[in-house]
Structure 1
Amino acid sequence: MIGDMDGDASRRDGTVLTFSPAARVLVLVVPATLGVLLGLALPVIAGWLVDAGVPVLGVVWKTARRVDEWWKVGVQAAILGAVGVAASVAIIRRSARITVGSGEVRLRTGDVEVVLARPEVAAVFLRGDELVILDRESRQLFAGEPQAGAAVLERAFRDHGYPWRAGDPFADLYQRWVPESGQLPVAVEAVLAARSVALRKKAEKETAELRTSLEKLGYVVRDDGGHQLWRPLVRS
């Protein structure tokens, strides 16, 4: 996600990394605007498609076509606009506002703030859209979507002396978890099996707790699509 570096933040207080003005407009305005426009246009589009004899859309489009009075169209537009607002809120709450200082890093995601002291941090890198921070035993201290973009993140962390990496330094060590493969201790297998269930249920809190349990057993796990990938901890 495109982001910005707060130019008013001093090196003593830290560099604040958040949405750029353009990205802020995209996040705050575009979803709601698209929702309203879709709500206004949907009856017209539906009518055209039904008249054109498009059968695949069926009752959904016939229902939308019945929204032909101005107040019904307005209500529909308001509902879809509210859905857009909810999408904006979700984007903001799941993305991290980051303050990088010479002594610590603060990462605020929604109402949760993680504070990491500089000596704890052994590697900082991007994994897809996620910013990942590892400690000296390769434990995952943080993984989340940042509000700032890649170039801004790299510059800020390097300027403050953090060990920025081009990618995951331990990527080659990961293996796909295969239940009862015999590669892992029984206790680790049990935690991965429980975490697999938690992932299917989308139980985020339980999933995070089981990740911590695995690290206590000497292993790291990350998710790749619907699969869990594991590796042993590595002391740097």
Structure 2
Amino acid sequence: MTTVQEAAAVRYGIWVLCPAVGAAAVWGLKLASGWVTTLGWFPFQEVFELVTDIPEPWVTIAALGVGAAAGLVLAALWAADMLSVDVSPDRVALHKDDKRFEFERHRVESAFTDGKHLVLLSPSGAELARERSDLSRDRLERAFTSQGYRWRATDPFASEFRMWVEHAPELPAEVNALFTARRKAIAKYEHEEAAELAREIRKRGVAVRDEKKRQYYRCER
């Protein structure tokens, strides 16, 4: 079996780097708070004035604590967005945000990357998975080909995608409703919600991909 995942330095380093950067950033704002209060046009003046009123060392301790906590939240979001891929001769397993998506060998006709997404295709051309990741394309290709899977240079069905519009006539009402909900999630930067809605759409025989904030679809065979 071949496993492709982010380097250990990234997987573990974010739990140190993000809190450190967050603490440094908030501490920097604390140092600048006195100057900011002299800028009448700057927003959140009340917050900066409150900071200048808190005595040392409590204001520094609070700034470092708040910054580190914000960094931990960022690290958790980053870790949840990381994709890990296990490729073996008999199955492919994708791990993301405590979820596991497993596909037996006979279900996977080929794999490829589309921008930042890893895509698995079935023998009928249906998309089994389309998951976002920062994994190296070359590492993914080697993992799949070394286990006997077909790797495609591009999406063979790219020309079949069309932009989704409200109440697309060729889509069932249920699928259009999912697209509408997904559009709202994308607008709010709720990435995991958008990904989950895409999985629900895919279960109903429709592939979905994004370009900027526009949704595109193709009805699968």
Same fold (TM over 0.5): yes
In the alignment, what sits opposite 1:190? 173
Count of residues in Structure 1 that have an aligned counterpart in Structure 2: 212
Could you list the per-position Cα deviations for residues 8-67 of structure 1 after superposition, in whole angstroms to 9, with x for gaps in the alignment?
Answer: xxxxxx11212213323542322111111112221112323444x362345154444445
**Aligned CA-pair RMSD:** 2.5
**1:19-58 alignment runs, 5 A limit:** 19-51=6-38, 53=39, 55-58=41-44
After TM superposition, give the deviation of residue 198 of structure 1 in Å: 1.8
**1:47-126 alignment runs, 5 A limit:** 47-51=34-38, 53=39, 55-59=41-45, 60-126=47-113
In the alignment, what sits opposite 1:127? 114
Which residue of the other structure, out of 138, 152, 167, is the alignment partner of 1:165? 152
State the distance in 2 between where 1:67 and 1:143 align. 50
Which residue of the other structure, out of 197, 208, 212, is the alignment partner of 2:203? 212
Residue pair 2:27, 2:67 contacting (<8 A) in 1 also:
no
State the distance in 2 between where 1:172 and 1:67 align. 61
Residue pair 2:122, 2:128 contacting (<8 A) in 1 also:
yes
In the alignment, what sits opposite 2:166? 179
Which piece of structure 1 moves more, 74-83 or 196-205?
A: 196-205
Which piece of structure 1 moves more, 170-179 or 59-68?
A: 59-68
Runs of 5+ unmatched residues, structure 2: none
Relative to structure 1, is the Cα distance of residues 227 and 27 closer, same or farther in structure 2, using a 3 angstrom cutoff? same
Residue pair 1:100, 1:106 contacting (<8 A) in 2 also:
yes
In the alignment, what sits opposite 2:129? 142
State the distance in 1 between where 2:53 and 2:83 align. 43
State the distance in 2 between where 1:93 and 1:24 align. 11
State the distance in 1 between where 2:179 and 2:168 align. 15
Which residue of the other structure, out of 7, 11, 17, is the alignment partner of 2:4? 17
Q: Percent identity?
A: 24
Residue identity opposite 2:76 in structure 1: V
TM-score by length of 1: 0.77
Relative to structure 1, is the Cα distance of residues 158 and 49 closer, same or farther in structure 2, using a 3 angstrom cutoff? same
